[in-house]
Amino acid sequence: MRDIIAVRTSAAPEAVWEVLTSLEKIKVWEPSHGLPFVAHEWSPSKGRVKAGTILRVKAVPWTFAARCAEVERYRVVWEFTGGPLLGKEAWLTRAETAGSRIIKLLEYEVPKLRDRLLWLLLGRRIHSWASRRQLMCVKRLAEGGK
């Protein structure tokens, strides 16, 4: 499966990149959906995202784990290492005439039948909603908001 969500911003790609790779700023936008049953944990917890950074997300009924596999200019790729999904999630920034486009690309499969049914019935919708909220928060932070 493949899900793509994107938003345009007036911010320069460098400003978006700062928001996407600063662990302090990620702690603002990653949980920006405000869901009470979701908890995030990063290792390391400070500094910049780099290859090997670990993210754990506890979301009833699953726990997801991802490792940052790639960080290059305007591209951060996370590989799922635990939980119901196999695949990767990429955060991309593309320069445009009057700012940037921020893109979240999720390429995955859900191998277990029970998890696949739950994901298709509920998880995918919640993830899409949360991703839109995250993108809007990244946009706001990159444009200088709080």
Reduced 3-state DSSP string for 82-110: ECCCEEEEEEEEEEECCEEEEEEEEEEEC
9: number of CA atoms within 13 Å, CB side? 29
User: Residue 5: is its pLDDT beyond 70?
Assistant: yes
Task: Return the CATH number at 75.
Answer: 3.30.530.20
Beta-strand runs (E) in the chain = 2-9, 38-43, 54-59, 62-72, 75-82, 86-96, 99-109
The total number of structural domains that make up the chain: 1
18-58 pLDDT tens trace: 999 999 999 888 876 677 888 889 999 999 999 999 999 98
- Domain with 111 in it: 2-142
Of residues 127 and 135, more confidently modeled: 135
Share of the chain above pLDDT 90, in %: 74
Give the separation between CA 101 and CA 95, rounded to whole angstroms.
6
Q: Compute the average pLDDT of residues 122-126.
A: 88
- Residue whose pair of structure tokens reads 């049953």 in the numeric block: 37
